[in-house]
Structure 1
Amino acid sequence: MATMVLPVIHIGTEPLALDDLLMNEFKYAWAKTVESPVYKDQPLVKDEKLNSKIKRAIYLIDTSTPYATDYELLKELPANNVIFDTKVELSADIEDLFRIKNWHRLDFTDVEALGNIISVNFYFEQGVYKIDFDELRISEQFSGTVQQTGQTFRHLTGDFGNDWTRIASVADIIWLPEKISNRIVFEYATQGDAEIKVVAQVTDSNSLEVTDQIELSGQAIERGLIVPAKAASRDMQIHILARGHGSVDLGNIHFRRTRGEFGEVLVGGKQIVDKNDLNQELLIYFDPGDLQPPLNIYFSGYQTAEKFEGVGMMARFGAPYMLVMDPRSEGGAFYQGSEEMENQLIDEIHHNLNQLGFDHHDVILSGLSMGTYGALYYGAKLNPAGIVIGKPVIELGKVASGERILRPNTFGTSLDMLRNTMGGVDQDDIERMNQHFWDVFTQGDFSNTTFAIAYMEQDDYDMTALPKLRAYLKENYPLVRLFSKGIEGRHNDNTYAVVQWFMKQYKSLLMLQFNRLIL
């Protein structure tokens, strides 16, 4: 598949010498005026508005840019992808716009540095993946005990010695493309006086000689290990060393093309780190859209690609939106975590609402499958205007219990969730896991919330999700607005029909409650 080429649009009196400095993923496009063709024969402004055909771009604004003080036009520029020269002076209202849109300032006089920063950090794709859990091999030299908990972590206990000793390595040799910087994020914990060091050993792809060795230990590991970009491609192997006495938990390893200070996975993306559980993360992304209500929040479903879902869908609505993604375990951990992690997510949502000047009710939460749990669970903490979901999953203990007979070996993540959350997998753990959702959901106030729920009529994950939700809401909120649609099939069937109904209801809610017409 062809790589998406991202235009770098610059309107000003003089062009910048960026043509030969940007990677092939970018195309520098310059014009003197906003009416002149700047990219693919399209002008920046058409009918006195930003040309929608070139809205997905990086915008460079210097002191000669004619619209540098035009608030209404600047407001139409995309979040996160606008770069101002440090010399540009902004009015107070544009400074506020700059802040909420998460724009950036760089020095345009150093064109080579500018080109490098754009190439390394502002690329279009989400360059991420998780290293296969089974590819982390425990060293044969380790003589202690090893206990594996599903696809979540391995618990190593023993005397690791006074000197650094290798305890594990990633079996795969990882290829590093030229001119691309990467960050490796480790899930881990230590107990006793044990400590770990992570090592990235980089070799020349042709000679196989070691050209670089990057090491991190202590709290520095929490920030991830950066492998800087080089002019030529290389190979890399990852090793984990330990010393001291106690235990070490080794979880998943995430490999991401870095965006430096500009974000995680996407420009503007953020980590929410659970320091109480292996330094695992939730990832969030915020785009203030047209700055008008509501704030749409979409929780990604189960997926091992570790990419934000719903970027295009939420952007097309035009309203501000947040994306939430769960890269834990295999495919996600249903957005539950420690109280600290969950509160961090709520704080981020409130922060964005406050930035936008919205009421706490100006929120619609949404998701499909695993994402439905996040939408309902956090909906109870936010009391939103609407919750739009498809293929609801709420009683996770029930989902895990179906793994043995109902749908054997289909969704092992549910068993990991059960053990990690409740400490076991027996019937009592199953019932407590089911109850955990209701303990949270019943604390919410849904008197002004509209629900739209598409469900599978033969769902083999959580067959009773809709009946139980409907019964609870009707009993406690007799006037609740609840729309539902049954679709024939099991949980993983006919996603297309679910998404079609999901989108129809979402657009209807935006129109009826927020006067937004979405074509």
Structure 2
Amino acid sequence: MTISILQIGADDWTASITSCLEWHHTTILDLPTFLARQRDPYVLEQDYVVLTDDVLESTLLSSQIEEWPALRVIYFANQISKDFQDILTERRGFRIEEHTPALVEKRIIDDLSSGQHGFSKSFTEDQFLPQVPKDIHFKREGRFSTKFEGDFGETWQQLGTIIAGKDDFQNNSANEVWLAYDHTEEAAAALLFVFYQLGEIVQQQMIYGEDLHQLKVVVPPEMYDGYEILVFGKGKGLLDFQSIHQRRHRHGLGHLLPGGVWQKTNENEEILNYFNPGNRQKPLIVSFADTRLYVDGFEMREALNTLESPYLLFTDSRVQGGAFDIGTVEYEKSVVQIIKQKIKILGFSPEDVILMGSSMGSYPALYYAEDINPGAVVLAKPILNLGAFTAGSKISRSFDQGWRLDVRRYLTGRVHPDDNEKLNQKLWQHIENTNWTNIQVALFSVTNDEYDGQSLQQLLDFFVEHNTPLTHVTEEGTHMDKLDEMVDFLTTNLEKMKQTMRMEGE
């Protein structure tokens, strides 16, 4: 995909740009004239603005950047006036060290394309080949937990091999690697990335110890035709492997998306979020992603960009498709803190927030209403009773292989029918004392929702009991049907709520 660039600076770099970048140039003084020649002078038509002057202090330029969308400016100047820097920070501009045409061009191509490249390799029987040492106990629990327990010795012992493919790495790019695993204090794990060319090893990279609890970068060789990931253990105790996540490395400019944020709790659970301050006018839309069984990524970005309002995206990459953005006390507090931080940054109040989600994402949109007290909640095809939902081993999606049971195991530590009611009640108990009379709810459902259709009437009764202002639309179909109608419902109701909230604030 071609990336369009508007360069603003004294020197025109156009002749030095050699790639597929669509390059436009103007000076600061000529910027008003350049914009006047566009179809709409008030719209930034290019994907990014690159500021190439060494000194940035122009009020004309900073005022224009303040009006343009966030996450669209690239700069490298060292001399920047305070007011100009404040605007660049608020607009979430990308600061880079490169300052020549060739290097800036490469940085844009390598790190600022909008495509999300993220996936996981699980320790299942089709992706992990175990090599169990003598006297080591090996056990699989579902499709996300593979355990080795015993005395591994004082030197690294191979425990198995993850099957990998050459396409895991995009052309000329590295990956950030995150291993989701648990271990007892005296047991240690390691990953060895081995790259081959014509059957010969051409490069190896080992990650071990505390580095496995951070994002580590794996850089493939220029030429290779395959690679594999060897898994090792040493010490004594338990190693519980869940999944290996790999995402395109953007060299400090974001995770999954340019500007995306990766956070880790003290319990080694990752939280991925993406914040766009938009036009700084209410509401703040907080959107939770649906199930993502094989690829990591944020959802609804393009649709929310058209609304121009601030938005915050969450995606849950735990287990093998997500665990409904809930879990331990620390995990849930972290999610709430992230939302409240963005409310504070924008100078908003809780009633200026809309929580939204579809399918799996509908659960946290409802759940965190208790903690945020938002002005509105937008839901589609909700999955609410996690006990009933996770009780079966199969789901109607033909490509799922036990994800529901793994969610149950992840949230309760086991798979047992005695947990049904506890899981079912988690949501209802959490939101019971919320003042729903002040929360506008928009709900989209389908008549034959085989995922968690039994909870729909319970939700409707709950809203009646709590005097909730509700807009409810139902379409004929099953859970995977009427996707276009669902997206239209979400965007239409977000637009209506946006207009209402802004009128009430005038």
Shorter-chain TM-score above 0.5: yes
Write the distance in 2 (CA, Å) between the matches of 1:70 and 1:406. 54
Q: Aligned partners of 1:181 and 1:411: how far apart in 2?
A: 30
CA displacement 1:139-161 (0-9 Å, x = unmatched): 14464112212122211111111
User: Could you tell me which residue of structure 2 aligns to residue 139 of structure 1?
Assistant: 131
Aligned equivalents of 2:485 and 2:135: distance in 1? 54
After superposition, the CA RMSD in angstroms is 2.8
1:131-210 correspondence runs (5 A) = 131-134=121-124, 135-141=127-133, 143-175=135-167, 176-204=169-197, 207-210=198-201
* Structure 2 counterpart SS, 1:13: coil
| Structure 2 residue 483 is the aligned partner of structure 1 residue 490 | no
Distance in 2 (alpha carbons) for counterparts of 1:407 and 1:226: 33
Contact 1:19 1:28 in 2 (8 A): no
Distance 1:57 1:105, change over 3 A: closer
Task: Look up the equivalent residue of 1:415 and give its one-letter code.
Answer: L
User: Judging changes above 3 Å, is the alpha-carbon distance between structure 1 residues 66 and 17 closer, same or farther for their aligned structure 2 residues?
Assistant: farther
1:281 aligned residue: 270
Give the Å deviation of 1:401: 2.6
1:127 aligns with 2:117: yes
Gap change, CA 1:12 and 1:378, over 3 Å in 2: same
1:454 aligned counterpart, secondary structure: strand
Cα contact 1:62–1:68 (8 A) shared by 2: no
Residues 1:250 and 1:234: Cα distance change in structure 2 (over 3 Å): same
- Secondary structure of the structure 2 residue equivalent to 1:262: coil
Matched with 2:359 is 369
Which stretch shifts more, 373-382 or 124-133? 124-133
Q: Distance in 1 between matches of 2:164 and 2:401?
A: 25
Q: Is the 8 A contact 2:161 2:231 kept in 1?
A: yes
292-301 vs 69-78, greater mean Cα deviation: 69-78
Question: Is residue 75 from structure 1 mapped to residue 66 from structure 2 by the alignment?
Answer: yes
1:458 partner amino acid: N
1:221-300 correspondence runs (5 A): 221-228=212-219, 231-232=222-223, 235-276=226-267, 279-300=268-289
The alpha-carbon deviation at position 190 of structure 1 amounts to 1.1
The one of 371, 377, 398 equivalent to 1:387 is 377
Q: Which amino acid aligns with 2:78?
A: K
Measured in 2, the distance between the counterparts of 1:79 and 1:400 equals: 40
Is the 8 Å Cα contact of residues 69 and 90 (structure 1) preserved in structure 2? no
Distance 2:14 2:498 in 1: 45
Gaps of 5+ in 1: none
Distance (whole Å) between structure 1 residues aligned to residue 363 and residue 386 of structure 2: 9
Task: Give distance in 2, aligned partners of 1:200 and 1:405.
Answer: 34
CA distance in 1, matches of 2:49, 2:178: 27
SS of the aligned residue for 1:330 comes to coil
Q: Which residue of 2 aligns with 1:10?
A: 7
Distance in 2 of aligned mates of 1:27 and 1:211: 37
On the 8 A contact 1:12/1:64 being kept in 2, the answer is: no
Which one-letter code corresponds to 1:301 in the other structure? D
Question: Number of residue pairs matched?
Answer: 498
Residues 145, 156 of structure 1: 8 Å contact kept: yes
Name the amino acid aligned to 1:16. W
Contact 1:185/1:223 (CA < 8 Å) preserved in 2?
yes
* Matching residue of 2:327: 337
CA distance in 2, matches of 1:306, 1:18: 38
Q: Return the alpha-carbon distance in structure 1 between the equivalents of residues 503 and 111 of structure 2.
A: 37
Q: CA deviation at 1:320?
A: 0.4
Task: Give the Cα–Cα distance (whole angstroms) in 2 for the partners of residues 105 and 401 of structure 1.
Answer: 49
- Distance in 1, Cα, partners of 2:361 & 2:395: 25
- Is the contact made by 1:288 and 1:319 (CA closer than 8 Å) also made in structure 2? yes
Q: How does 1:317-466 map to 2 (within 5 A)?
A: 317-403=307-393, 412-466=402-456
Percent identical among aligned pairs is 24
- Cα distance between partner residues in 2 of 1:394 and 1:243: 42
Distance 1:104 1:172, change over 3 A: closer
Question: Whole-Å Cα distance in 2 between the matches of residues 174 and 143 of structure 1?
Answer: 34
Structure 2 counterpart of 1:481:
469
**1:499-518 mapped onto 2 (5 Å cutoff):** 499-515=487-503
Instruction: Assess if the C-alpha contact under 8 Å between 2:48 and 2:74 holds in 1.
Output: no
Aligned equivalents of 1:36, 1:238: Cα separation in 2: 55
Matched AA of 1:511? Q
- 1:52-93 deviations in Å (ceiling 9; x for gaps): x32x3353352578966444411233323312232342343x
- Write the letter of the residue equivalent to 1:180: S
Per-residue deviation, residues 171-211 of structure 1 (Å, max 9, x unmatched): 2343444421211211111114111122112234xx44333
Letter in 1 for 2:330: E
CA distance in 2, matches of 1:497, 1:235: 43
Q: Partners in 1 of 2:221 and 2:137 — Cα distance?
A: 40
The structure-2 alpha-carbon separation of the partners of 1:249 and 1:117, relative to structure 1 and needing over 3 Å to count, comes to same
After superposition, give the CA deviation of every residue in 1:296-329 in whole Å (9 maximum; x if it has no partner). Answer: 1111111232111101011111000011101122
Secondary structure of 1:179's partner? coil
Matched, 1:57 2:48: yes
| SS, match of residue 477 in structure 2 | coil
CA distance in structure 2 between the aligned counterparts of 1:227 and 1:119, rounded to whole angstroms = 19
Q: Distance in 2 between matches of 1:367 and 1:128?
A: 21
- Tell me, yes or no, if the aligned pair for 1:365 and 1:375 is still in contact at 8 Å: yes
Deviations along 1:478-508, one digit per CA (max 9) or x if unpaired, are 3x21111121222222222222222222222
TM-score under structure 1 normalisation?
Answer: 0.88
CA contact (8 A) 2:448 2:479 kept: yes
Asked if the contact 2:174–2:217 (Cα under 8 Å) also holds between the matched residues in 1, the reply is: yes
Structure 2 counterpart of 1:284, one-letter code: N
The separation in 2 between residues aligned to 1:115 and 1:68, in whole angstroms, is 27
Write the distance in 1 (CA, Å) between the matches of 2:395 and 2:222. Answer: 53
- Residues 138, 148 of structure 2: 8 Å contact kept: yes
